[in-house]
Amino acid sequence: MEPTVLYPLRFEPIYQYRLWGGRRLADLLSAPLPNGPIGEAWVLSDRDDHASTVDNGPLKGQTIGQLMDDFPERMMGKLSRRFRRFPLLLKFLDAQEMLSVQVHPGYPPDQPLPEGETAKTEAWVVIDAGKDSRIYAGLKPGATPDRLRRWITDGTLADHLASFTPKPGEGVFIPAGTVHALGGDVVVFEIQQNSDTTFRLYDWGHVDTKTGKPRALQVDQALGCIDFADGAAGLVNPIVDAAAPERELVFDCEPFRLWRLRSHSPFPVGAADLPGVLVCVEGAGQIEHDGATYAIKRGEVWLLPAVVGVCHFRPGDAVNLLEIALPA
């Protein structure tokens, strides 16, 4: 019997209702949006509750979890012994209103986590932003647990957070333990560790229209996770690759690396014996592998299994592509 051949994989987006969401993801992704405010499109998710499904080729309909179980070495290469499930969760966010002021747990968490969850470092690449957009990332000097409780009570917490007006193309790093929020008509691509644990400190007085009630806060758990130094959070300065000027390194941390690639000419993507991910945020092109071509367009996310190795990317015109790797 012929072994199953793996190839570049495209996945169906999984849309998520969020009370702070909007309708702008319809401009970015081709799959129709369901009704209501849609705040998130999970575009690569190896989670039991929301499992990404292959949308192209012979493996169409398979979940990424099934592929990880059936072909661990071919999917993950030299990382197959480290990861039982794909270790990143990738999303597009449409934050029309403000997200809650929140924090994610780090290493080790002071509060117990649900089974199977991990620390959660994340980062954003800004896709679009309106005149009222705002990103909050980190605490201003002088914050303490007691002061945070007082600021939450009197509604002034946002005044004590570092913040800025985002611009398209900017990268924002949110290490685990960083107090953060964003909103006011901003669309971002989010890369994070594969964890869905969030502790809310403050929610701007939002009322969930589905329940008619405010969402619950987890102040004690959040305070147990906050890094009061959080000096690494906020805007990053990408580093241009002198040997390949079409590439610039945007994020480089223990859980992931992310490059931005912009070129009219073909360039290599992927790596030998390691998985990779491509995210097209502008333009279009083709992935070339083993004599076949795979068309990729704006808003699509493609996984290159480790067995695929290095491919060539041929832009159809100017392209803005994000390439993601897992540090070996």
Using pLDDT thresholds of 50, 70 and 90, give the confidence band for residue 115: confident
The pLDDT assigned to 2 comes to 55
Cα–Cα distance between 64 and 130 in angstroms, integer? 35
pTM, entire model:
0.94
- Order of strands across the sheet with 276-282? 9-10, 301-304, 276-282, 319-325, 257-263, 247-252, 239-240
pLDDT at 117: 78
Give residue 290's pLDDT: 93
Interval 244-272 mean pLDDT: 94
At residue 288, the 3 state secondary structure works out as strand
Beta bridge partners of 193: 88
Q: Does residue 96 have a pLDDT over 80? A: yes
Q: Considering only CA atoms, which of 66, 30, 91, 6 is closest in space to residue 303?
A: 6
Q: Which of 128, 121, 126 is nearest to 260 (CA)?
A: 126
Q: Does residue 109 carry a pLDDT above 60?
A: no
Is the pLDDT reported for residue 211 higher than 90? no
Average pLDDT over residues 276-298: 96
The per-residue pLDDT of the chain, averaged, comes to 93
Q: Domain 239-325 is of which CATH architecture?
A: Sandwich (2.60)
So where are the chain's domains?
9-235, 239-325
- Reply yes or no on whether the pLDDT at 111 is more than 80: no
DSSP state, residue 54:
B
pLDDT in tens, 166-182: 999 999 999 999 999 99
Is the model's pLDDT at 107 over the cut of 70? no
- CB of 214 within 8 A of CB of 205? yes
CB-CB contact of 326 with 256 (8 Å) = yes
- For the cut 80, the answer to whether the pLDDT of residue 110 exceeds it is no
How far, in Å, CA of 93 to CA of 110, rounded? 28
The pLDDT of 8-31, averaged and rounded, is 95
Q: Do domains 9-235 and 239-325 have the same CATH topology?
A: yes
Q: Which CATH architecture has domain 9-235?
A: Sandwich (2.60)
Mean pLDDT of 98-106: 94
